[in-house]
Amino acid sequence: MATPWLVREADETPSKGDVRSFENFLRVDPEMFMKLVAHLTPRIQKQDTNFRKALPPGLKVAITLRFLATGNSYKSLPYGFCVAPNTIVSIVPEVCRAIYDEYHEEAIKCPSTPEEWKEVAKGFSEKRNFHYVCGALGGKHVRIFEPPGSCSVYHNYKGYFSIIMLALVDADYKFMYFNVGTPGADSDAGIFRDCSLFKALDEGQANLPPPEPFPAGDQDVPYFLVGDDASTLRTWMLKPYSECQMTHAERIFNYRLSRSRLIVENIFGILANRFRYFHTMMMMGPQTVEKVVLAACSLHNMMTDIRLSGVREDPHTQEVAPGEWRQRTNQLEGMQRRGSNMLSVAKNQREDLTQHYSGVGAVPWQDKMVGPLPRQYKEQQQQEQVPDDEDLVRDVPHLDQE
């Protein structure tokens, strides 16, 4: 059986090589594994009967972690754990549900006070050189097997069946909020408009900090989230400029904003490579897949708290290396404008930020990363290759000079 080996590896002060092998097998270290077993035992322990003994909780946790780590099918896991596949089918959803129920309040923390939002914004300022960002928003399609009788409800624009995971993350690659389970045919923007986070932000109940001036300016700027070009432009949600006929300053703004939003794309990649079941088609119903995703996100945050890992970017050299707020009723200062006027205010806010990051807020490497405008580059090449008419006349010797 697998349980004695796992317990022995966790209890006998294993060597560095053993710990590395243990982490490679289950994606968690021995200490965290024993912690999971101790905390989840009351939720997953079954009583022994006269006919057979119940499976040990440690074995159930090990099967579930191995399932998430490898993406192996229910029929391949029995060869490593000596447990029937029809039993594993019920073990995995049960343990995933228990992991989320036990740890989600501890692991998934969405800021609920202005001070907590400011702490998130501080991380983006220090690590991404983009101020007043309270989180990066993005979505991921989780591939699933076609649910019976679903027609095209779960069929997404990429050509396969999926459910959508919408997430808000901080600068430390941790999930602060997520919405899982919407059919893949829906859009990220539509899902966000229907979730509780959008309602809280749009009605001023998210308790974001009041607007503050830039470090090198006197104009107040609201705190905001960053999204992709499909997001809705608001004072509390900024998105990139359209790629059509952008100025150099607008391209710099898009680059600076994209450096902040890149975190949400990175975290999906970290999650999928840590729990490689996300690289496969999940042969489960949508409700069971939702339990698996929730458990994986909770484990990811717990592991990130222990040891921060994943893709990171040096803020100085740009080198890449490997809640409770829903019930809040406080109104957010400076965020009560609604309707078409709100869009105009958001555009002005984005324009102010564009000028700031092209001026006093510039970083040394941004022009090199953005490069010249294509049209300007062509004009520059033409000016270098073809001299002006005055230069041609100046270079031709006059008759009286001969």
3-state secondary structure of 28: coil
E strand spans, 80-236? 133-143, 162-169, 175-183, 212-213, 220-221, 224-226
What pLDDT, on a 0 to 100 scale, did the predictor assign at position 210? 92
Cβ atoms within 10 Å of 24's Cβ, excluding its own:
9
pTM equals: 0.79
212-217 contacts, C-beta under 8 A, 24 or more apart:
212/132, 214/131, 214/356, 214/360, 214/361, 215/131, 216/360, 216/361, 217/356, 217/360
What pLDDT, on a 0 to 100 scale, did the predictor assign at position 15? 65
Upper half-sphere CA count for residue 214 (Cβ side, 13 Å): 17
CB-CB contact of 345 with 235 (8 Å)? yes
How far apart CA 212 and CA 218 sit, in angstroms, is 9
CB-CB contact of 270 with 300 (8 Å)? yes
What pLDDT, on a 0 to 100 scale, did the predictor assign at position 383? 53
How far apart CA 243 and CA 257 sit, in angstroms, is 14
What pLDDT, on a 0 to 100 scale, did the predictor assign at position 270? 93
Q: Give the pair of three-digit tokens for residue 315.
A: 């803020």
What pLDDT, on a 0 to 100 scale, did the predictor assign at position 391? 45
What pLDDT, on a 0 to 100 scale, did the predictor assign at position 184? 93
Tens digit of pLDDT at every position of the chain (402 positions): 444 455 554 455 566 668 888 988 999 999 999 999 999 999 999 999 988 899 999 999 999 999 999 988 899 999 989 999 999 999 999 999 999 999 999 999 999 999 999 999 999 999 998 999 999 999 999 999 999 988 899 999 999 999 999 999 999 999 999 999 999 999 888 899 999 999 999 888 999 999 988 776 667 889 999 999 888 888 899 999 987 778 888 899 999 999 999 999 999 999 999 999 999 999 899 999 999 999 999 999 999 988 644 444 454 444 544 433 234 333 333 333 334 466 788 888 888 788 778 777 788 778 778 777 665 544 544 554 444 444 433 444 443 443
Residue-by-residue DSSP string for 323-343: -GGGG--PPPTT----HHHHH
* Amino acid letter, residue 269: G
Q: Give the pair of three-digit tokens for residue 62.
A: 């090990």
What pLDDT, on a 0 to 100 scale, did the predictor assign at position 12? 54
Compute φ and ψ for 313, nearest 5 degrees.
Answer: -130, 130
How far apart CA 301 and CA 39 sit, in angstroms, is 17
Compute φ and ψ for 238, nearest 5 degrees.
Answer: -105, 145
Residue bearing tokens 């092209």 = 358
CB-CB contact of 66 with 25 (8 Å)? yes
